[in-house]
Amino acid sequence: MEAGVEERVAALDDPVSVAVRLRPPERHGLEERFAASDPSPGLELTAHPRVARLLKNRKFQFLLILPNQIVFWTVIFVGLLGTAVPGLNFGAAITWYVWFCLVFVMMVVVGRAWCAMCPFGGFAEWIQRRSFFRRTQKALGLGRKFPEPLAKLGFMIPVVSFLLLTWIEEFFNIAGPGNPADTSFMVIGIVASALVFFLVFERRTFCRYICPLTTLIGTVGSMGSVAGFRTRDRQVCLACTTKDCMRGGEEGYGCPWYTWPGSADSNLYCGLCTECYKACPEGNVGLFLQRPLTSVIAPRRRRVDVAWGIVALWGLVLYQQFNATNAFAALDNWLNSGLHFPHYPNPLDYLGIIAVGAAVTAGVAWLVSVAFARRDLDFSSKEGFLDRGSRFRAFFMPMAYGLVPVVGADYFARQLPKFFQHAPRVVPAVAHIAGFATTRSPIYRFSLLNNGGIVAVQVAVVSIGALAAAFATWRIATRELVPVSRGRLGIRLASVGFALACGAAAAVLYVLMHAAD
């Protein structure tokens, strides 16, 4: 095993502690409740011979990544060398009018599908492995492990990197889109950062701990119907002495994401890279489908870093809605004038609004815990599969997870004005490369929907997300909050009401924004 991987496995998906958790439990109390809702892997895609052969082929992921490599290097070169008109520049048009919407669709339907074909991590991984698809035994680079104190922060570091990247994008108006060259520089920066981390640290350290999109894709992707690669029989995994899925073997690398299939109960960290499937000597790993929202509802082990990541992302998307209103413009101009900051967005209102959104969300969870928590429970103790940590965490984590559908729907809805107003511009942007199109092209001026139609679609998307959040929250509350609460119906209604209120707030903001992009 590569240096440091054993310690990383111990910190994240320790097979020994997992084995203890997975011993046949005594069926009583809360443990019985969890056993009854044990998430099934669902329908196995790899049971079909053609799918199995395809995923065993080492060229499979290379062929997934290659088209995106071509597109994104084209984005870089066209952004730098092509026209300065954003709507006619293929690099800017494809990135901001189409790509972001497609990524959100992939998240909701598949999960981490983008991670399986990502050109940023893919390019750096090819260099790290010194191969496009062959199984090599020695990696290029220092192969260091990520510092344990930082690894324990989980999703919080990529949340910070996402907030920073978003502020930079807003400050330079990159996604306006502004100067197409700025889009190229941003993509180059992400590729260069990924390459540095791949050459310094082992495996996909960048993808798990640093990538600005990993928290967003991981949390929103938990709504997806692809469960990821899971074990077929957990007892086989527990009895396995080689753990090739983690260490690597002749046929496959150890999991680049440090995720042990024997303990996976969600698709949160499965990058769909197929390496555990290729490496398993027992043929005990498969690719499974699941019902939508399963990875939101079913996980036995909630993570506080994931919960805080969700509410931080919620605060950010609320900021991105509020900043399109006249009230925000007045606030930002006032702060910029007083602090002599050059222009929008002022860092104080940027971070402040995000913090307020996250704090209000956490505050509601705290109020619910005060109102409904049972007085006879010690929330710092472990009972069955629950490790609550504190009264606040016992309520905050389930309620935050339940918000994933409305957060995902809100992010998707926020991308729709650019898509409906400007996506057709990709056609003349492609033609412009060959010198055949200008801004006078009818397609350049064509919109798929008018502003009223866009608002209607945005409100509909958020409404669907709110209803999905209400459904997920009801199921989560029934399983995890009812046992620690006074009043079975009250805690369910309070949790579901909060999810619906978040959806209503987002819908109102879209009406006020009136399709602003």
- Specify the pTM: 0.89
Is residue 298 assigned to a domain? no
Say whether pLDDT at 506 is over 60. yes
pLDDT in tens, 398-437: 999 999 999 999 999 999 999 999 999 999 999 888 888 7
Is residue 28 assigned to a domain? no
pLDDT at residue 387, as a whole number: 52
Is residue 297 assigned to a domain? no
Q: Do 239 and 331 fall within a single domain?
A: no
Is residue 17 assigned to a domain? no
pLDDT in tens, 453-486: 999 999 999 999 999 999 999 999 999 999 999 9
Say whether pLDDT at 30 is over 70. no
Residue predicted with more confidence, 83 or 438: 83
Q: Do 282 and 335 fall within a single domain?
A: no
Q: Do 215 and 257 fall within a single domain?
A: yes
Q: Do 170 and 60 fall within a single domain?
A: yes
Q: Of the candidates 258, 291, 324, which is a domain's last residue? A: 291
Q: Do 257 and 313 fall within a single domain?
A: no
Q: Do 371 and 402 fall within a single domain?
A: yes
Band (pLDDT 50/70/90 cuts) for residue 377 is confident
Task: Please say whether the beta carbons of 509 and 455 come within 8 A.
Answer: no
Q: Do 175 and 317 fall within a single domain?
A: no
> CB neighbours (10 Å) of residue 29?
12
Is residue 31 assigned to a domain? no
Average pLDDT of the residues in 289-315? 94
pLDDT in tens, 83-117: 999 889 999 999 999 998 899 888 888 889 999 99
pLDDT at residue 234, as a whole number: 87
- Give the chain's domain count: 2
Is residue 27 assigned to a domain? no
Q: Of the candidates 291, 318, 333, which is a domain's last residue? A: 291
pLDDT in tens, 160-217: 999 999 999 999 999 988 999 999 999 999 999 999 999 999 999 999 999 999 999 9
Q: Do 59 and 152 fall within a single domain?
A: yes
Residue predicted with more confidence, 22 or 73: 73
According to DSSP, the residues that pair with 286 across neighbouring strands are 230
Question: What does the angle CA 202 – CA 207 – CA 211 come to, to the nearest 5 degrees?
Answer: 130
Q: The domain containing residue 462 runs over which residues?
A: 304-513
Q: Do 284 and 309 fall within a single domain?
A: no
Q: Of the candidates 268, 291, 314, which is a domain's last residue? A: 291
Return the closest-CA partner of residue 496 out of 368, 356, 370: 368
HEC-encoded secondary structure of 339-370: HCCCCCCCHHHHHHHHHHHHHHHHHHHHHHHH
Is residue 33 assigned to a domain? no
Band (pLDDT 50/70/90 cuts) for residue 8 is very low
Q: Do 258 and 310 fall within a single domain?
A: no
Instruction: Tell me the C-alpha to C-alpha distance, in Å, between residue 186 and each of 75, 117, 120, 224, 453.
Output: 11, 19, 12, 28, 32
Residue labelled with tokens 């996909």: 204
Q: Do 387 and 413 fall within a single domain?
A: yes
Is residue 96 assigned to a domain? yes
Q: Do 224 and 250 fall within a single domain?
A: yes
